[in-house]
Amino acid sequence: MRAVESLSLVLVATLLGCMPGTPPTIAKAPTPSNPLEIVIYNYTYAPDTLTVNVGSTVTWINKDLAPHTVTHRSYGKDPFDSGNLMYDKLYTHTFRRPGQYDYICALHQGMQATVVVKDTATTH
């Protein structure tokens, strides 16, 4: 009886451990602490679309136990890549040109988000 119980406990723990996006040590979803911060949590970027003015420095922070990256591949036009961001690590990037910057996590390519950079220099 005891052995069966502890076996099922191990089984449950194993199943939980395999589920992506449920890190056991973080109780609730963290939220960005300022308008230029993007939190990586539960295999998503929050907010998934951020609009900033040109010249803004955006900060990403990884709140997952899994490593993630912030990777924008534009083949010559302002690419950026954080490399592997471990838990609680920051990455910052300054956007010097207006445009739409789609980025992904190079490790989990289903993770996608966008930074939209507005041109404040031109008046319409």
Alpha helix ranges (H) inside 2-109: 2-18
For residue 115, give the nearest of 47, 29, 25, 41 by alpha carbon: 47
Q: Are 117 and 56 in contact (CB under 8 A)?
A: yes
- Which positions from 63 to 102 touch Cu ion by CB under 5 A, shown as an x/- string? -----x----------------------------------
Binding-residue total with Cu ion (CB under 5 A): 4
Give least dist CB 119 to Cu ion, A. 30
For residue 114, the SS3 value is strand
Nearer residue to Cu ion within complex by CB, 13 or 65 = 65
**Binds Cu ion (CB under 5 A): choice among 38, 50, 61, 105:** 105
107 is a site residue for Cu ion (CB under 5 A):
yes
SS3 of 43, please? coil
